[in-house]
Amino acid sequence: MTETPVSRYYSEQQADSLTTGDQLLLPDGERTAEIQQVELESDDYGAPALILASLSGGGTVRIAAGSAVKIVNTSALDETPDAGAPLSLAVEPSATEPEEAPAAPAVVVPPLPAIPPAVSGPTAAELARIPEPQGTPEAVVEAAAEAHPDAGGVLLLADKLTKGINFKSGSCLKDLSDLAHELFITLKDPDGALAVADLLNVLPFDGNPGRWASVEASLALSSYICRQDRQEDRAEVYEKLLRSPENQETDPFKSRMNAKIRQRSLNEPNLYDKEIFRSIDNSNHEAEREWRLLRLESLLFLRAHGGSETIGAGELQRRISNELEAVRA
């Protein structure tokens, strides 16, 4: 391979191994600049994605992780008689050749956009709208069971919960949420349902989606009950709590992506149409009811979250009423 005299002054190097002080050959292929700082940006999966090389003269060069760049080979310069002189690759224009236009400046990365202000959660005064439980959590569950001594589903759940409620247990949170739904949907006891649901509603988001799913379902149910009972202020507190996980992300890019994905899920909710129709075709009424309960949970969440761009508020209310009637039949 033929090597030009100029090429001897450069050596290829992986972008990941660039360090402060390296003389980087710029994208125009003619000028060099000293690297003042090197930063590594990762993608959303944590893998290296982009190298940001801040230059001493100002500006930043973006380099894909894993790619090769050229830097000044200082050892080659030391071997030349003019090692002390600065390297110049500019070619003197001849009388017959037109002078070349000045090279474009290095690519400058604009600063990251400001972090959008997070939607504030409920204040202490707003949280005070949620009544304190009457006694211990186990006592609240026991009172709900005593109000419905003939309800097998309630008694079964209460029997497990009254032995001790562990709010760090996902299965325990699921039982509490199921009990609140059973009280409201099957037994038409909104007060008892709210009393049980409020044991979950005050729990903060701990980053665990599995545990939060039970709290989320409880908050959506509580919001609906309060809206139906004209307790608008109390319903707003539940709705703010339901959206609290959306305020956790501080990275602007991830926040925008999460919002986009979230809006898509709101616009295209899973309402279990295929599963319900299959159960109807098979005359499996028990399975149909279970799928309709899941559909009802999705609709309640949509309503508590503020609705959807594809399902209007009136249509949403109509569907919730239809599902309640179907599962109560």
Q: What is the pLDDT of residue 58?
A: 72
Dihedral angle computed from the Cα positions of residues 120, 203, 126 and 299, in that order, rounded to the nearest 10 degrees: 80
Does any domain span residue 144?
A: yes
Q: What is the pLDDT of residue 3?
A: 42
Does any domain span residue 63?
A: yes
Are 160 and 274 contained in the same domain?
A: yes
Are 99 and 173 contained in the same domain?
A: no
Q: Which of 111, 138, 161 is the last residue of a domain?
A: 111
Does any domain span residue 116?
A: no
Compute CA distances 243 → 138, 193, 198, 272, whole Å.
28, 21, 16, 23
User: Which range of residues forms the domain containing residue 210?
Assistant: 124-328
Are 212 and 322 contained in the same domain?
A: yes
Say whether pTM exceeds 0.75.
Answer: no
Q: Which of 63, 88, 111 is the last residue of a domain?
A: 111
Q: What is the pLDDT of residue 255?
A: 79
Are 146 and 25 contained in the same domain?
A: no
Helix axes 190-201 and 170-181, enclosed angle (nearest 10): 160
Q: What is the pLDDT of residue 117?
A: 46
Are 106 and 163 contained in the same domain?
A: no
**For the chain, percent of residues with pLDDT exceeding 70:** 82
User: Cα(218)–Cα(178) distance, rounded to whole angstroms?
Assistant: 9
Compute CA distances 90 → 97, 125, 140, 196, 212, whole Å.
14, 70, 83, 79, 63
What total number of domains does the chain contain?
A: 2
Does any domain span residue 177?
A: yes
Does any domain span residue 172?
A: yes
Does any domain span residue 41?
A: yes
- Output the domain CATH number for residue 28: 2.30.30.30
Q: What is the pLDDT of residue 262?
A: 87
Are 88 and 183 contained in the same domain?
A: no
Are 98 and 167 contained in the same domain?
A: no
Per the CB < 8 A criterion, the answer to whether 88 and 35 are in contact is no
Are 163 and 242 contained in the same domain?
A: yes
Are 107 and 135 contained in the same domain?
A: no
Are 74 and 217 contained in the same domain?
A: no
> ∠ CA 199-205-210 to the nearest 5 degrees?
85
User: Cα(238)–Cα(114) distance, rounded to whole angstroms?
Assistant: 29
Q: What is the pLDDT of residue 56?
A: 77
Q: Which of 51, 76, 111 is the last residue of a domain?
A: 111
Are 225 and 190 contained in the same domain?
A: yes
Are 147 and 169 contained in the same domain?
A: yes
Instruction: Name residues of the chain where pLDDT drops below 50.
Output: 1-6, 80-92, 112-118
Q: What is the pLDDT of residue 106?
A: 52
Task: List residues bridging with 53 in a β-sheet.
Answer: 38, 61
Does any domain span residue 117?
A: no
Does any domain span residue 119?
A: no
Q: What is the pLDDT of residue 313?
A: 87
